[in-house]
């Protein structure tokens, strides 16, 4: 086969694979995982990526971004005293985000003015180790006005495994409130929902 023929074949294969990938993505989007987001939530995001797993600790990483319209809506809703929270929610009987004395195992982010989550400090199931509900690994920014449109932000969280049996649902979620010390959010928007093997 001459050089030209080889290139044509490559191009044909590339288009074929692209179609397969796009079709698979559409099916995935429709079936499970990525959810329709609220007008103020990040509208671009990746699936949480398991970037570390040693059998005891597991680490997840997610990118997310707002386009101009979504960023504008977030800013108008939170005002100057509000907050934006980004969280990973999962079955707490499978993975812990905090040790028995509420010490976070670890997180990392480039969100502006970020704090340890405020909301959980007020719930009985959040501030002690024997949680009955699905625990949220959550970070909060008290300067949502400094969230820029078309900038990629990330959140990385470390969990400690309680068990490696069964499956669990990992939900990533955006929340806002118009007052930073409100106990609960004014609204929330699910971003991704995936089933994980602990």
Partner 1 sequence: MKTIFKTVLLIGVLIIGITAVSGINDILNKGNIVSQELKKNEIESYKTTHFKDDKVFIRVHPEISDGSTLTKYVNQRTATLKYLSNTHGDTIVDAVITFNDKYPIEAYRSFMNSYGLEELSYMYNSYPEGMGVLSNETPTKLIKQTEENIGRNYTDFKLIDKIVSVKTRIHAKDLLRIQSDKRVFLVDAGPEDVYRENSNKEIRTTIDYIYPVYIKFGR
Backbone dihedral region of 148: left (phi > 0), alpha (psi from -120 to 50 degrees) or beta? beta
The conformation of residue 7, written as its DSSP 8-state character, comes to H
Q: Does 148 bind partner 1 (CB under 8 A)?
A: no
Q: Does 105 bind partner 1 (CB under 8 A)?
A: yes
Query: Contact 147/191 with Cβ under 8 angstroms?
Result: no
Cα–Cα distance list, 160 to 37, 86, 104, 178, 179 (Å) = 29, 19, 10, 33, 32
Taking CB under 8 A as the criterion, the residue among 118, 145, 172, 173 binding partner 1 is: 118
* Nearest distance from C-beta of residue 145 to partner 1, angstroms: 13
Q: Does 136 bind partner 1 (CB under 8 A)?
A: no
The conformation of residue 98, written as its DSSP 8-state character, comes to B
Q: Does 52 bind partner 1 (CB under 8 A)?
A: yes
Residues numbered 55 to 94 that lie near partner 1 (CB under 8 A) are 56-57, 59, 61, 81
**Cβ distance to partner 1 smaller for residue 43 or 118:** 118
Query: Contact 35/58 with Cβ under 8 angstroms?
Result: no
**Cβ distance to partner 1 smaller for residue 69 or 121:** 121
* Nearest distance from C-beta of residue 36 to partner 1, angstroms: 28
**Cβ distance to partner 1 smaller for residue 6 or 129:** 129
**Cβ distance to partner 1 smaller for residue 57 or 188:** 57
DSSP 9-78: HHHHHHHHHHHHHHHHHHHHHHHSSB-PPPTTS-SEEPPPEEEEE-SSEEEEEEEEE--HHHHHHHHHHH
Residues numbered 9 to 28 that lie near partner 1 (CB under 8 A) are none
Query: Contact 194/48 with Cβ under 8 angstroms?
Result: yes
Q: Locate tokens 């949220």: which residue?
A: 136
Q: Does 116 bind partner 1 (CB under 8 A)?
A: yes
Residues near partner 1 (CB under 8 A): 51-52, 54, 56-57, 59, 61, 81, 99-110, 113-116, 118, 121-122, 124, 127-130, 142, 154, 156, 158, 160, 180-181
């Amino acid at each position: 086969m001459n050089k030209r023929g080889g290139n044509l074949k490559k191009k044909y294969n590339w288009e074929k694979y692209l179609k397969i990938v796009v079709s698979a993505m559409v099916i995935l989007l429709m079936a499970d995982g990525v959810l329709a987001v609220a007008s103020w939530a990040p509208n671009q995001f990746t699936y949480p990526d398991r970037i570390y797993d040693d059998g005891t600790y597991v680490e997840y990483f997610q990118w997310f971004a707002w386009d101009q319209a979504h960023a504008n809506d977030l800013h108008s809703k939170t005002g100057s005293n509000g907050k934006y929270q980004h969280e990973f929610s999962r079955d707490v009987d499978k993975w812990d985000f905090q040790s028995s004395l509420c010490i976070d195992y670890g997180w990392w982010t480039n969100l502006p003015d970020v704090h340890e989550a405020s909301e959980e400090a007020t719930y009985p199931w959040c501030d002690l180790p024997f949680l009955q509900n699905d625990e949220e690994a959550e970070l909060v920014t008290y300067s949502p006005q400094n969230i820029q449109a078309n900038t990629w932000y990330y959140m990385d969280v470390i969990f400690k495994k309680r068990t490696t049996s069964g499956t669990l649902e990992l939900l990533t979620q955006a929340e806002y409130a118009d007052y930073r010390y409100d106990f609960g959010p004014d609204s929330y928007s699910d971003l991704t929902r995936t089933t994980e093997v602990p």
